Structure 1
Amino acid sequence: MSLAWQYFRSVIFVIQMYLAMALYGLVFLPWTLFDRRGAYVGARNYCHYVRFTLRLICGTRTEVRGEIPQGEILIASKHQSFLDIILIVSVVSHPKFIMKDSLRYAPVLGFYAQRLGCVPVKRGRRSDAIRDMMGRVTSGDAPAGQLIIYPQGTRVAPGVEAEYKVGVAAIYEQTGQSCVPAATNVGLFWPRQGVLRKPGLAVVEFLPALPPGLPREEFRNTLREVIEARSNALMAEGGMTR
């Protein structure tokens, strides 16, 4: 299959994906306005639609491995592209994210993110950002569910090293919840930038939970080690060579 044909298929996929986002947003809007469950059902169904059309149009298969986190728990996930968000939201029951404050103003996405209970945080000085983040998480304004945070703070391309920030450890300590690490290789097939979607098997894998109460540095080091080791294994499975 030629690169030009795959690029054309990818463009078609991206266009219909965003059109579908608007359509799903409108269909589930009345329910979502009066009942938060509408946002959960709408988001989950949209994510299943994206997974289906990604395989149908681009030949990119998707898989979620491991035990699906339930109840009040943290999920600390490797973040390589929008696809890992799609996969997580498609399977967890009550997802909410630590997200960039600017996303609140994104059409459709911003409204549904707020109804899901996502926590917007302004970027700036680290200490201020952490205080703001913790205040929003512990205020009780957000609904119960699975709080997803990206410990590296942003999307990181496959093979690129990036620091694990202190925010995830602060939330882990102050919530007193278990933390489920999540590894991925999705960036090999749906990159952090650009339109091209590549055939293959994109995976998000939930790993065994880290119990509450670990010392901060032990938690950060363990989290980094298990996520990076498993993500590297998934990327090797996906065909990446170093």
Structure 2
Amino acid sequence: MNRYHPRPPSLLDWPRAVAYYIYVALATVVLGLWGLPQVLVKPARAHRVATLWIGQMMGAARVILGVRIEVRGTPPTEDCLIAAKHQSFLDILAISQAVPQRAFVMKREIMRVPIMGWFAKQVGSIPIDRTRGSDAMKQIADEVEIARARPEGLGQLIFYPEGTRTRPGEKRRYKAGVASIQAATGLTIYPVAVNCGMFWSKRGIPIRGGVSVLDFLTPIPATGRPVEEVMAELEARVEAASDALIAEAGGLK
């Protein structure tokens, strides 16, 4: 079987997934309690704790689920914006592991999740209130500039322009937030294509083994172009590259 194709459905898919999520819960509690005093003493250690947690999640995905990630392109290491296709929990983990100082623009509700939400805030993730419209974008831009002034910098701030997870092949209109933040900050956007939903479903179950691909595309520098023009380019490139990765994984059935 082609290793880039998801493993055929199996009666073991559900028990494997249940075992994985039990491991995730236990590891989150253990690492969270272990890391809490370290981060309280030195907040910059939050990235170290996050890196360990992500490593545990990805290692367990390989061992329990048979899921591996192949990273293509060049992941950024400087302060930047990442705009990615979002199909499942797997692409969150994969992007987080591929870059050294990850942070997310995420729903306010996620920041309230015990342990995980607190650590997300410590690594620099920014909550967004979509009901505030342009005021929310101004708040994010202000927080980005504050973060850039810190000794450790902003890191790699990850956006999901569709605003939610999508099934492979599903299209949703991209929200202009990431291009608006680029216009306000001058940061480069790194588009990311994925086919993670072919292996790890939007709902989280079933999960099938194989090699999922994360592709960092050619970056989009800040050049003063209109936000709408930047978003049109971003959407076209990410969607085309994600469709190509889906085809590589055997296509939609």
> Does the alignment reach a TM-score above 0.5?
yes
Partner of 2:154: 144
Percent identity of paired positions between Structure 1 and Structure 2? 37
Q: Distance in 2 between matches of 1:194 and 1:84?
A: 12
TM-score by length of 2: 0.89
Amino acid at match of 1:241: L
Partner of 1:118: 125
- CA displacement at 1:64 relative to structure 2: 1.9
Name which of structure 1's ranges 181-190 and 1-10 shifts more when overlaid on structure 2.
Answer: 1-10
Do structure 1's residue 8 and structure 2's residue 18 form an aligned pair? no
Partner of 1:230: 241
Greater length-normalized contact order (CA 8 Å, ≥ 6 residues apart): 2
Name which of structure 1's ranges 123-132 and 113-122 shifts more when overlaid on structure 2.
Answer: 123-132
Structure 1 residues not aligned, in runs of 5+:
none
Do structure 1's residue 43 and structure 2's residue 50 form an aligned pair? yes
Q: Distance in 1 between matches of 2:139 and 2:201?
A: 30
Partner of 2:141: 134
* 1:108-135, Cα deviation, whole Å (9 max, x unpaired): 1111011001100123153343333334
Kept after mapping to 2: 8 A contact 1:183/1:207? yes
Judged with a 3 Å threshold, the aligned counterparts in structure 2 of structure 1 residues 32 and 224 are, in CA distance, closer, same or farther, namely: same
- CA displacement at 1:9 relative to structure 2: 1.0
Aligned-residue RMSD, C-alpha: 1.9
Q: Distance in 2 between matches of 1:99 and 1:14?
A: 21
* 1:139-161, Cα deviation, whole Å (9 max, x unpaired): 44885211111111221221111
- CA displacement at 1:194 relative to structure 2: 3.7
Kept after mapping to 1: 8 A contact 2:199/2:208? yes
Indicate the SS of the match to 2:131.
coil
Q: Distance in 2 between matches of 1:214 and 1:208?
A: 18
How many residues get paired? 242
Name which of structure 1's ranges 90-99 and 208-217 shifts more when overlaid on structure 2.
Answer: 208-217
Q: Distance in 1 between matches of 2:143 and 2:109?
A: 16
Amino acid at match of 1:121: I
Structure 2 residues not aligned, in runs of 5+:
1-7
Do structure 1's residue 190 and structure 2's residue 200 form an aligned pair? yes
Do structure 1's residue 29 and structure 2's residue 36 form an aligned pair? yes
Amino acid at match of 2:156: Q
Name which of structure 1's ranges 157-166 and 60-69 shifts more when overlaid on structure 2.
Answer: 60-69
Q: Distance in 2 between matches of 1:41 and 1:18?
A: 19
Amino acid at match of 2:169: G
Do structure 1's residue 161 and structure 2's residue 199 form an aligned pair? no
Judged with a 3 Å threshold, the aligned counterparts in structure 2 of structure 1 residues 11 and 188 are, in CA distance, closer, same or farther, namely: same
